[in-house]
Every structure is written in C-alpha cells, then in structure tokens.
Amino acid sequence: MDIAVRTVSLRKSYLGRGGRRVAVQGLTMTVPAGGVHGFLGPNGSGKTTTIRMLLGLIRPDSGTAEVFGRRVPKELPQVIDRVGAIVESPKFFPAFTGRQNLRLLADAIGTPRPRIDEVLEVTHLGDRGRDRYAGYSLGMKQRLAIAATLLKDPELLIFDEPTNGLDPAGIREVRDTMRTLGRAGKTILVSSHILAEVEQVADTVTIIGHGRTLAEGAVSEILGGGGAPQVRLGISSASQAEDVLATAGLRVTRDGEHLLVTGAEDPAEITRVLAGHGLYVRELTPIRPDLESAFLSLTADEGLGSDADRDAGGLATGGAA
Amino acid sequence: MSHTLITPDSQAKSHTRPKGTSFLGLVGVELRRLWWRRLTKAVLVGVVAFTGLMVYNAYNQSSPETLAQRLDEYQAMVADAERQNQEMQANLPTMIADCREQEAVERERQNDSSIDFGCEHLGEFQVPTMEDVGISLPIADTITAELVPYATFAYAFLVLLLMGSFVAAEFSTGALGNWLTFKPQRVRVALSKLAAAGVGGALAATLGLGLLVIGARMVATINRPGSELQLPTPPPLEDSVAELVLRAVLVVVAAGLLGAALAMLLRHTAGLVGLLLGYLVVVEFIAVQAFLGGRLTPWAITPNASAFLEKGHEYMAETCTTVDGNRSCTFGTQAISYTHGWVYLLVLVVGVSTAAVLVFRRRDVT
C-alpha cells in the first residue's frame, strides 16, 4: 500500500494565557494513497493543528510527519507541488479579484496562465473571476480555494472542514467533488466534525479526540467494530415473536412497541422464522451501524463526544449533508 | 450547474506540472502584488503631489517678482543697517571707553589679565551679503540640493508605511498561510518580500526624485531673471547632485526594507504605525532632546539619515568637562559624520531584516 501521509507520535502545544495547552499529543496517522480519507474529531480535537503541521505552517514539538515519504517541514518543498490544501476558511487578498489572487499563486509556482482560466471554469467562477474576492459568497470563496489547489494539479488534496458555512447545494458540490477526485486516483484528506459528511465519501478514516488517535482504518472496519447487525422489528404479537426468535438463536430486546433483533446475518432469516410460526411482520428496518455510533463508542471512555461537546458545536451528525 | 466541481475533463489541459519559479521570479510576483494594491497607487499619488508642491514652492520662492521684492527688502535692510552704523560711529569713542573700563574692572575683580571683552571690535560693521540672506540666481542644482533632503524624508515615511502594510496585509488577511502552501521555503519567501519592498522603494524614490530634478530645472529655466535684476551666482555645491540623489534613493530603499522587516516581526500595520509614531514622538522628539543634553542624538535614526544624505549632520548638544573636580558643561555644535551615518543605517537595516527573516523562518503561521 502506497502511503500519502504518515504521522508518528506528533505533538504540538501552545503557550496561552492559561499556560501551555496541548493541541496534539502523540498523534499517529496513516493516509493511504488514492481515495478519500476522513479525519474526524470534535472541534478542538487537533485536526486543524495536525493539518497545519502537515503543510509546514506550524512546527511540531516532537514526532514526525511525512508527505509522500518526505519529512515535513524539512523536505516539504520537494513535494509541495503534489499537494493542494484548504485550511479552515479560504483566505485570499480581499481587494484583489479572484483571477488576480489565482494569478499570483500561479506565477509563484510557474503554472502557465491559461490554467487560471481552466480552473476558474471548472469551479464555475469563469464569469466572476474579475470580481473582487471581498464580494464573493462563502460558497464562491470555497470554490476559489478549490480552484487554487487545482493550479498545481495535485495528487494529494487536504480539505479542512470544507463545508463549513456552505448551503446544502454547496455541501453537496464539495462532497461530490471529493468523491470524484478520489475515484480519479487522487488522495483526499478531509477533516470534519460532521460524521455523516465524511461517512458518505470516505474510504478510510482516522478518528481523533483530545489530540490523540482513537481509531483508524477502513470505514467498513470502523463500522464493523460497532457490533453485530441489528434489525428493528414491528409485529403485532411481539411477545410470541420474541420467544420464537430467541428459540431460533437470535438475541431479542424490547424497544417500546418494537423488537430489536441482533445476530441475523440476513433480515430474510427473521421473516422466514416468524412466518413458519404464522407470525407476519409489519415493519422490518435494518439498523445500519454508522460513524456516529462508532465514534461515540470509541470516545465513551475518553469523555469526548459528550453532550457538552455537541452543545459547543463539537461533534455533529450533519443533517444537511 | 453540475453537482461536481471537478470532473475528469477538469484535468489540466494546458500542462500537467508547474515549472517552478526562480527567486527573481518570486520577487516579480511580489512586485506585481505591490503594484496591484490601492495603497501603492495612493502613495505614488502622494509622492507626485508632494513633489509638485515642493517644486511649486521653489518656483514661487525664486520667481523674478519674488526675487525683486526680496532684493528691495534686502536693500532697505542694508540702508537701515548703514544708518544705524553711522549713528553708532558717532558714539563709538564713548562706547569703547566704557567697554575698556568694564574690562579693567573685571580683570581686577578676577585677578586675570587675560580677560578680553573685544572692545577694539566695537563699531566694526559688516553688511550681510545677498548670499547670506539667501538671495541668488536660481540654479537648478542648488534648488535640487535644497529640496532633496525634505523630499527624501517624506518619501521615506510614505514608503515605510506602504511596505509595512504590503507585508502585514498578508498576515492580517491570512493569505500568507495560503502562500506558504505554494511556496513553503520560508527564507526564500521572506527575502523575496524584502527584495520587493526594496525595489518598490527605489522605484517610488526614483519617480519622486526624478520629478524633483526635472521640476528644479524647469523652475531655474522659467525663473531665470532678466538683465534688469542683478543677482549673485550661488557658491558651487560641495557635492554632486547625482550622488545626493543616489544617496536619497538609498535612504528610501532603507525605509522600505525597514517597513517590510518590522511588519514581518509585528504582523500588523497598526502595530507598525504605532511603533513608528511612538518612536518619533518618544525617542526623536522627547528623549533625544530632553535627556543627556542632546547627547543621544547620534543614536537616533533621522540625524544619521541626515548625516548620510548630506554628508554630515550638525546638532546642538551639551559637552561636559571636569577639571580639578569641577564639572562644567557648555552647549555647542556637534557633528555626526557621513561614515557614522551610513554605518548606523546599514547596521540598523541589516540587523532588523535579519531578525525578521529568522523569526519568519521559525514562526507558526496560524
């Protein structure tokens, strides 16, 4: 497996008013090349700090970070042309037009001018390129940032909370863009605190909390860790059905009017067993494990992902996504 | 609109990989950004306007009408002085006798025969020349040499603020983080910004001083008086105007570098403006004047810039000596040499710029 990004025991602390605060402590992460890698964690868990360290914007106190096998920040110049990034909200010169902002960046790396028009067209900013950046909507700013990353035609794209502040259409655009890039063989590292957003596009994920790695791997593996598949069952003779299913070796618990059945590899097995006893199902809903439950399970012992975190905008399930 | 911003068609058509940029190319990009800024245009307008005002003032000061009026005033002053002299000559023997008497009393009182009141010089009268009161033929080089120091300090102030804002804007907008994801070579990036600030400062100074030189020549030509106005030719300049203008450009370049370097350290235009005004008020206007009898002057910036620009700078300061345990102080004229001036400026600019690059290299960009 080719590795796009690897960090080992990465640590970063800041000196603030209340003393030294550790933002990232011993973070170890591996991002395979190709596909979309979700970087999940509540607000303040150290995602942006980690991304800034990967881009050489801040220096780690200790630990190592590599991008395409090159040590960061020392050897970053050797691979920077293969990396595009949007860290937090897009930041350009507000008094310049979108085109002027792109031209500065393109000239800085020696990208031919025609590429500026191409990336403006690609991001649907072709007719707004000569407008001042200060007048752009948030979605347009985000698209301009994506256009900037495309000036390099990078192999690794790092998006830090790319859908923050976007409307549902914008969120869908960004999500589909990430998916398309991932399918095209690019590596996308996307950080988010919106679990549903990442779950829909990511192939692999790293989940962090309090600056530490909590879990890492393929999404299916992480979800698989959430327990055996469950099915919610609606049936008129719930007590009788409970006995029948238990006799068939399935684990059954009550959930109000419904039954929660655990252990059936195929929901059809449940209907077949019940039908054999003259019991007919009114409702049968597979309960799919999701990243939210996986995350909550992982952070149960860490005191993370709690109500307090959610109240503070920490972990969100992202209805709009 | 498609739901996907990027499709397989969006791959680069024009090429695949950036070619990279040389250091000079990077300086060129920074200069382009500098040129695109509205503040740059405003400063250039300011430079042109200030130059125009100075040239206009020189034109007014040296117009034949003004010179004729000043000549009349001068002649009236000379006539008045000669009248006073004649009156004094009538009383001169009495005045000299009084003077000698007081001198003798003082010699006796102090038991010092070397005391000299200079009584023999009483009555010596010298009429100030037209050159002494600043009346002379308007010569282009002389006008230029008179205006350049004022222009230089004005340009330097404007360029310092412009270059400070040029660099600080990258921090305040957050665009620097974006920039560093394209060019992560911190030292190279910092040096390119300083180089652009220096080149930009040189261009602004060249514009202003070029206009000043042209304006001075136009004033000298337009205001050349007719034969009815007999004026003395001013003494030749000790220094060539070309060298003076070159030194003026270097002072403005130094200001540009200082502005950019300080902005790299402070990261805010407001901080830079505060530091600059604070320095001028607290150090140059208060501390240098009020403390140690002016002896701090050689360590302030503007006197050294003057010393470099005008090949020496004179200032008033207290000089104290102790003889036999008795300390006595006198105020007198002191000088900052040309060498002191350029060494001071060089150390200042190189020191602050080096500190800025080193800090920029290590500092976290958040």
> What are the pLDDT digits (tens) for A213-241?
988 988 877 776 556 678 889 998 888 99
Please tell me the distance from the alpha carbon of residue A93 to that of residue B172, in angstroms, as a whole number: 10
Tokens matching residue B302: 């503007």
Spatial neighbors of B187 by CB under 8 A, at least 6 apart, are B357, B360, B361
- What does chain A come to in residues? 321
- A11-66: per-residue pLDDT in tens? 999 888 888 889 999 999 999 999 999 998 888 889 999 999 999 999 999 999 99
How much is the pLDDT for B133? 79
Select from A59, A87, A115 the Cβ nearest to the Cβ of B12. Answer: A115
Please report, rounded to a whole number, the percentage of residues in chain A having pLDDT higher than 90.
46
Q: Which two tokens stand for residue A100?
A: 């002027």
How many CB atoms are located within 10 Å of the residue A282 CB? 10
Any idea what the Cα angle at residue B347 is, between residues B310 and B251, rounded to 5°? 35
Q: How far is CA A147 from CA A69, A105, A163, A197, A261, in A?
A: 26, 11, 15, 21, 49
Rounded Cα distance between A64 and A6, Å, is 8
Whether A181 sits inside 8 A of B175 (CB atoms) is no
Helices (H) and strands (E) in chain A, counts: 12, 14
Q: pLDDT below 50 — which residues of chain B? A: 1-2
The number of C-alpha atoms within 13 Å of A200 and in the hemisphere containing its C-beta is: 19
d(CA A113, CA A125): 16
And the tokens for B296? Answer: 């701090």
Shortest distance, CA A153 to any CA of chain B (angstroms) = 7
B263 token code pair: 């902005």
The whole-number pLDDT of residue B9 equals 54
Mean pLDDT within A151-178: 86
Please give, rounded to a whole number of angstroms, the shortest distance from the CA of B164 to a CA of chain A.
16
Per-residue pLDDT, B67: 83
Nearest to A275 by CA among A229, A244, A247: A244
Residue of B nearest to A121 (CA): B10
Query: Is it the case that residue A294 has pLDDT exceeding 90?
Result: no
* Residue (of A191, A220, A232, A223) closest to A208 by Cα position: A191
What does R_g of chain A's alpha carbons equal in angstroms?
A: 24
CA triple B179-B182-B183, angle to 5 deg: 85
- Structure confidence by residue, pLDDT tens digits, B241-266: 999 999 999 999 999 999 999 999 99
Residue in B36, B180, B362 closest to A100 by CB: B36
Distance separating the N- and C-terminal Cα atoms of chain A: 30
Confidence of residue A289 (pLDDT cuts 50, 70, 90): low
- Cα A265 to Cα A86, A249, A268, A270, B144: the distances in Å are 42, 12, 9, 9, 95
A98-109 and A114-122 helices cross at what angle (nearest 10)? 130
Q: Is the ipTM of this complex over 0.90?
A: no
Can you give the pLDDT at residue A120? 93
Q: What is the largest distance, in Å, between two alpha-carbon atoms of chain A?
A: 75
A285 in Cβ contact with A256 (< 8 Å): no
- Give the pLDDT score at A300: 64
* A303 has a pLDDT exceeding 60: no
Mean pLDDT of A304-313: 42
A and B: number of Cβ contacts within 8 A: 144
Residue B233 is given by DSSP the state P
For residue B178, give the nearest of A59, A92, A174 by CB distance: A92
- Average model confidence (pLDDT) across chain A: 85
Residues of A in contact with B3 (CB under 8 A): 172-173, 176
List of chain A residues whose C-beta atoms are within 8 Å of the C-beta of residue B7: 122, 180
Cα angle value B282/B147/B128 (rounded, 5°): 100
| CA dihedral (B136, B139, B140, B141) positive or negative | negative
Please, which residues have CB within 8 angstroms of residue A258's CB and are 6 or more apart in sequence? A232, A233, A234, A238, A283
A205 strand-pairing partners: A38, A217
Task: Please compute the mean of the pLDDT values over residues A76-83 and round it to a whole number.
Answer: 92
Residue A20 has φ and ψ, to the nearest 5°, of -80, 130
pTM of the model: 0.81
By Cβ distance, the residue of B13, B181, B364 closest to A85 is B181
Question: Mean per-residue pLDDT for A270-274?
Answer: 90
